[in-house]
Amino acid sequence: MAINWFKYSAPSTFYGLAGKLIPFFAWPAVILFGIGFYIGFFVAPTDAVQSEAYRIIFIHVPASILSMFIYLIMAGYAALGLIFKTRLSAMMASALAPTGALFAFISLWTGALWGKPMWGAWWVWDARLTSELILLFLYLGFIALQASIEDPRRADRASALLAIVGSVNVPIIYYSVQWWNTLHQGSTVKFSGTSMHIAMQQSMFIMLVACWLYAIAIAFSRVRSIILERESNTQWVKELTNTKGDQS
């Protein structure tokens, strides 16, 4: 059962593999979003304190978790690309950045829409909110830095350094509610357990898995375009477009 994993680290093989895998992530994501939404809105009870407004949690928490995890994975790929000079890892880092930025945006947006009715303010310069905003800026900085350097290899190196240095912000976001006196509430879900109603936990967990699957599917499909763009002068890409046209 020896699978040659290194084979798939070549852009030419990964291109086809990613293409085959996308539906296996995309369709379960759609189904789980549906199930998570159903449980969150039709099974989970109304909150005693926050009434119906608390239902924002089912998208706010998964989006926030994803914004942090995707950053760490992006920085990990960028570091691999920097150390081992593997082309595919640098491409994966660039493919993850826009998706991570969008999850950071969703986290901030849903947080603002939740903060207004509960705290009376769309935004406060609280440690949790501010560090999440910095995360969004780090993603945007990574994307802008890559776009501003003409040579892709130099762009990869420069943006990898930014990604690695910026990853110090992720634990700051995570522990901000413990380290500082913040308006943002403490973690709803802790390693030691949670006080949430079972249906609320289920909805949040299912939405989290759905967001994960969505992120993988979209990153795979974006990396396929990046491979085509960067490998456009290689023989296999030329053959691909000559014979198959728009297919796979």
| Residues at the contact surface with another protein, assessed by CB under 8 A | 37, 41, 46, 51-53, 55-56, 59-60, 63, 98-99, 102, 105-106, 109-110, 113-114, 116-117, 214, 218, 221-222, 224-225, 228-229, 232, 237-238, 241-242, 246
Least gap, CB of 209 to another protein (angstroms): 15
Geometric angle at alpha carbon 185, from 196 and 193, rounded to 5°: 35
Phi/psi at 47 (nearest 5 deg)? Answer: -75, 140
- In angstroms, the CA 83 to CA 102 distance is 28
- In angstroms, the CA 210 to CA 164 distance is 27
Least gap, CB of 65 to another protein (angstroms): 14
Tokens of 166: 């910026």
Least gap, CB of 183 to another protein (angstroms): 17
10 closest CA partner among 237, 175, 200, 213: 237
Least gap, CB of 46 to another protein (angstroms): 7
Least gap, CB of 3 to another protein (angstroms): 28
3-class state of residue 2 by DSSP: coil
- In angstroms, the CA 125 to CA 109 distance is 15
